[in-house]
DNA sequence: CAATTAACCTACTAAATCTATAGGATAAAA
DNA sequence: TTTTATCCTATAGATTTAGTAGGTTAATTG
């Protein structure tokens, strides 16, 4: 299951992607439009900024804005920034790999076997979907 | 991410599916073979029995056994029994649907849009994979 | 029958994660 | 210098996870 943080983060990014101009949008504007707690959204956008996908401006007329063209932001990136691993088990994760304690041989593991398939499939979808694709 | 419960549950079911004869297998046997805490596995197998996928026998020579031919047990069933929803968000779940508090219109929601795709894809894989398929 | 075996059942707990909230500091603009 | 809006740290309540403890029931065996 996706965390609320990820869900809200995606919604906010798509909201920003929908803007015609790349002007800063305030947190309060997004939180109202998307029914997200403002304080919670504040922390989410801040981490997205720290991770380099958003820019920000302080003071009047300030807010957050996308640093890249939405067409150039695949959902793989977004998911990894917000949720972390895309894989269902760490032992099949490309970017967040961890060995299982209980598993002496990954290649002999049934869970590994099927979760590799799920990962590849999900990854393909996220790779081929950009923020721009979700903005219609 | 899959819970350990689900991971261990799948491993145990596949272990049972691998047996040539449908004789009862003890919890301790499975827990040792798969490096799973025996007490934890005990509770997992008990719920799987209550949900109707496993049979059991008490006393000497007792244990757990699959009630169906492994070929007839798709991973959709297994996942729903152990993990619950297959979808990444409740609002796209077929068997565990829940409306989002924040979302006035699902069809206008970007998260909904992409997670439908992921669900359909994942579902297809789980549908086409049986316990028998994972037993090699 | 009695001893052994192994599943059954209830309850509990420690740790981690999630979902925020509080309250102030900093920086930009008017 | 006042206002605006992001930035930052800390914390807290709720939920979930990953088990553990300890005893009960039912089946087999001698």
Q: What is the pLDDT of residues B5-18, one digit of tens each?
A: 999 999 999 999 99
pLDDT at residue A5, rounded to an integer: 98
For the CA of B42 and the C1' of C8, the distance in angstroms is: 9
Per-residue pLDDT of B37-61, as tens digits, reads 999 999 999 999 999 999 999 999 9
CA distance A116 to B3: 16
Q: Is A3 in contact with A83 (CB distance < 8 Å)?
A: yes
Q: Is B22 in contact with B4 (CB distance < 8 Å)?
A: no
**Percent of the residues in chain A that have a pLDDT greater than 70, as a whole number:** 100
Instruction: Name the pTM for this structure.
Output: 0.96
Quickly count: other Cβ atoms within 10 Å of residue A123's Cβ.
16
Any A CB within 8 A of B2 CB: yes
Any A CB within 8 A of B7 CB: yes
pLDDT at residue A123, rounded to an integer: 98
Nearest chain B residue to A7 by CA distance is: B111
**What is the three-class DSSP state of B34?**
helix
For the CA of A61 and the C1' of D3, the distance in angstroms is: 12
pLDDT at residue B120, rounded to an integer: 98
**What is the three-class DSSP state of B25?**
strand
Chain C positions within 7 A of any protein Cβ atom are 4-11, 17-23, 26-30
Contacts of A119 in chain B (CB under 8 A): none
Per-residue pLDDT of A19-38, as tens digits, reads 998 899 999 999 999 999 99
- Check CB contact under 8 Å for A118 and B129: no
For the CA of A41 and the C1' of D22, the distance in angstroms is: 46
Quickly count: other Cβ atoms within 10 Å of residue A88's Cβ.
22
Per-residue pLDDT of B88-115, as tens digits, reads 999 999 999 999 999 999 999 999 999 9
The stretch B104-127 carries a mean pLDDT of 97
Angle of helix B38-50 versus helix B4-18 axis, rounded to 10:
80
């Amino acid at each position: 299951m996706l965390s609320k943080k990820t869900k809200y983060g995606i919604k906010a990014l798509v909201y920003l992607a929908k803007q015609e101009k790349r002007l800063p949008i305030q947190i309060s504007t997004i939180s109202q439009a998307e029914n997200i707690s403002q304080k919670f959204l504040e922390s989410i956008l801040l981490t997205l900024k720290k991770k380099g996908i958003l820019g920000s401006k302080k003071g009047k007329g300030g807010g957050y804005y996308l640093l890249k063209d939405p067409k150039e932001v695949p959902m793989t990136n977004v998911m990894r920034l917000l949720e972390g691993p895309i894989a269902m088990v760490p032992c099949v994760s490309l970017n967040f790999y961890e060995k299982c304690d209980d598993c002496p041989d990954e290649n002999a593991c049934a869970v590994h076997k099927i979760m590799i398939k799920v990962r590849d499939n999900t990854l393909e979808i996220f790779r081929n979907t950009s923020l721009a694709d979700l903005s219609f």
